[in-house]
Amino acid sequence: MKNKILILIFSIPLTAIAQSTISFTFDDGSMSNRANYEFKEWNNMILNALDSAEIKAVFFVKTDDKATNKGRYLIETWNNEGHLIANHTYSHPNFNKEEIKATDFRIELLRADSLISSYSNYVKLFRFPYLKEGDTNTEIDSIRQIMKSYGYQNGHVTIDGSDWYIDSRLRKRLKQNPKAKIEAFKDFYLEHIFERANYYENLSYELTGRHISHTLLLHHNLAAALFLDDLIEMFKSKGWNVISADEAFKDPIFQQTPNHAGESLIWALAKDSGKYEDELRYPAEDSRYEKERMDELGL
């Protein structure tokens, strides 16, 4: 199972996909109670939404607090439901910070690997915290070589967004008023993610001339627990094909290694092309882009 994805990816031919296609991946792994919801309750809400849709995700786990009984419970619930368990470092550092080096990356990679490698659905996919892959070409190359030496593949995001920021404001509202109505938060969450999905879908189609199998980055949080079932249904109602993440990672797009490391894979490939300098923003996604509108909406 450890090399399952790597084997499949390189054996899949380039075939045309007839419609926009999306899969779901989750980062981090919180174990805190959120608003009126106990940790086990809201975690199970995410798993139930995925189960109802009959899709499997990849769970990129930050492991610094996962050697506890609660941490093992979290990973086991995802693993036992058939979701892939992947590496998101031990302490979630930003590899674009000057003081963090490739030697630190090796430690983070292996320390997290030692905790997750015993799970039956463990795969050697690695996702960079903040989607930051190093601040110099030398460091980026060193990190990529370390990943290669340990058989790891980049667990690229193709659709990025600011779901974490929406979640932070949602939790703040519920902390202020546990009975607050949250329908407007749901509407904004769905609107934001679908707008970002369309942006990266259109950009990827321009770059490749085809529909790729997208990997959407979501965070393991209360917003996902409350709104994931609506999110999945929205994509289906808009004509998107919703697939499991292991299937999405078979797409040949994930074999590409862009020169511009970091952000989403589609952002990086567009940056490489040199054709989108007036369009690409940096950082690609951030709270600063959503704050004004959420303020105006009273969220």
Confidence (pTM): 0.93
Contact predicate 96/135, CB 8 Å: yes
Tokens found for residue 3: 């090399």
Q: Is the pLDDT of residue 6 over 70?
A: no
Q: What is the pLDDT of residues 195-236, one digit of tens each?
A: 999 999 999 999 999 999 999 999 999 999 999 999 999 999
User: How far apart are alpha carbons 175 and 287 in whole angstroms?
Assistant: 20
Contact predicate 182/174, CB 8 Å: yes
Q: Is the pLDDT of residue 17 over 80?
A: no
Q: Beta strands 84-87 and 58-61: pairing type? A: parallel
Contact predicate 292/167, CB 8 Å: no
What average pLDDT score do residues 105-130 get? 98
User: How far apart are alpha carbons 6 and 80 in whole angstroms?
Assistant: 22
Whether omega before 283 lies within 30 degrees of 0, making that bond cis, reads: yes
Q: Is the pLDDT of residue 7 over 50?
A: no
Tokens found for residue 161: 């967004």
User: How far apart are alpha carbons 129 and 256 in whole angstroms?
Assistant: 20
Q: Is the pLDDT of residue 53 over 90?
A: yes
Q: Is the pLDDT of residue 77 over 70?
A: yes
Q: What is the pLDDT of residues 176-198, one digit of tens each?
A: 999 999 999 999 999 999 999 99
